[in-house]
Structure 1
Amino acid sequence: MYTTINESGQLNNYPTEPEMYYAAYPNQEQQSRYALQGAIATLFVTAIILIGCGVS
């Protein structure tokens, strides 16, 4: 950990930064899985909204 001291005696601690890397583009299987998850989430939110409207 990198530490500095300013004029008033306060310490500033700086963490070590992780090495950066580029994300890999998802393959066809991952893309279809993301689409399925999005569809399920949309149905779930729609159902919650409709149930909320029906109860009120």
Structure 2
Amino acid sequence: MRYTTDEGGRLNNFAIEPKVYQAQPWTPQQKVRAALLVGGGLLLVAGLVAIAIGVS
């Protein structure tokens, strides 16, 4: 486990922050994949709502 040591010699088990980096723009393939996931999620929710209405 990683830890830090302060001036007094005490060990601290605080998380070491990861290196910060700037996000890159989405590629066309990532945009298509995201659109398919959103569409699938909408279909799933619509189907569940239809089932809930049907059984009530």
TM range (shorter): 0.7 to 0.9
| The structure with more strand, counted as a fraction of residues | 1
| Two-structure CA RMSD over aligned residues (Å) | 2.0
3-state DSSP of counterpart to 2:20:
coil
Q: 1:14 to 1:3 in 2, by over 3 A?
A: farther
Percent identity of equivalent pairs: 36
Report the number of matched residues.
Answer: 51
> Mind listing any 5+ residue stretches in structure 2 that lack a counterpart?
none
> Mind listing any 5+ residue stretches in structure 1 that lack a counterpart?
5-10
**What is the TM-score with the length of structure 2 in the denominator?**
0.72
CA distance in 2, matches of 1:53, 1:31: 33
Q: Please give the per-residue CA displacement for 1:25-44, whole angstroms capped at 9, x wherever unaligned.
A: 11111101111111111011
**What is the TM-score with the length of structure 1 in the denominator?**
0.72
User: 2:4 aligns to what?
Assistant: 2
